Amino acid sequence: MFADLLKNMKQFCVIGNPIEHSISPKLHNAAYKAFSIDAAYTKILLENGGKLRETLLTYEGANITVPHKEAAFSVCDKIEGIAAQIEAVNTIVKKNDKLIGFNTDADGFFEAIKEFGKVENALVLGAGGAAKAIAFILRQNGIETAILNRSVERLEFFRQKGFKSFSWGSFAPKKYDIVINTTTAGLKDNVLPAPAEILNETLKSARFGFDAIYNKKTPFLKLCDEFGLKYKDGSDMLLYQAVFAFNIFFDNVYDETKIAQIMKKSL
């Protein structure tokens, strides 16, 4: 009987590596319960990105986190919205055995920083899928955006898309309204996302700091605090990308304000 119930229940998940820290199941399962949806959401550790598509096809929908967002883009049958520009996907739905990819990180991030007020320019640390989402949504909203990454190779995408891009060796600090960490530095260690001398020089003239890592005051955010910046971790970005992803899973029939209220309570 229980096995039959599970078989009929819609199955969703979040896929990444590492994944044990993810609270996405808590957010989505709280919303399923509140809306009386017969579904379950779990987390999947996937070390081999080559198995991403076959894993995704066993679920009705999924969220993708590091390091698989760019691989997720390549395994989709169709791409919708800003994900086509970003070339990174964090939300996938399965329809007629086809995978359709979206990116809710971009809108989730921008919703999260609205309380900062007016921002004219930004520095994004890192060059992965989250960096792409954030860079594109910033530019879409008229904010001049530069990218800083340790290696030169991963900057090529951003250069081709017209972003000012710097490696650690070529970067000359200037004034940025907001500095954003999209790397995993500080997630499971006490490492800064860039050399201290670069960050010190940059943060002393910044107004805001943001770290995509959530539920943790990372070394980067501690440094922002030392320089007196107003700062946020990635909790609200996680919340809002989950709200938008939830509605994509269910054809946008639910009220996003209500979804956000339910998910926020679960936090």
What is the C-alpha to C-alpha distance for residues 191 and 73, in angstroms, rounded to an integer?
A: 29
173 and 115 Cβ atoms separated by less than 8 Å? no
5 and 38 Cβ atoms separated by less than 8 Å? no
- Told to judge if 69 belongs to the known catalytic residues of this protein, a careful annotator would answer yes
45 and 88 Cβ atoms separated by less than 8 Å? no
Q: What is the DSSP string of 141-194?
A: TT-EEEEEES-SGGGHHHHHTT-EEEETTT------SEEEE-S-TTTSS---SS
> How many degrees, rounded to 5, is the angle at CA 7 between CA 73 and CA 53?
15
What is the C-alpha to C-alpha distance for residues 31 and 63, in angstroms, rounded to an integer?
A: 15
Nearest to 89 by CA among 141, 130, 126: 130
What is the C-alpha to C-alpha distance for residues 78 and 99, in angstroms, rounded to an integer?
A: 7
Q: Which of 51, 69, 78, 118 is catalytic?
A: 69
Amino acid (1-letter code) at residue 57 = L
Catalytic residues: 69
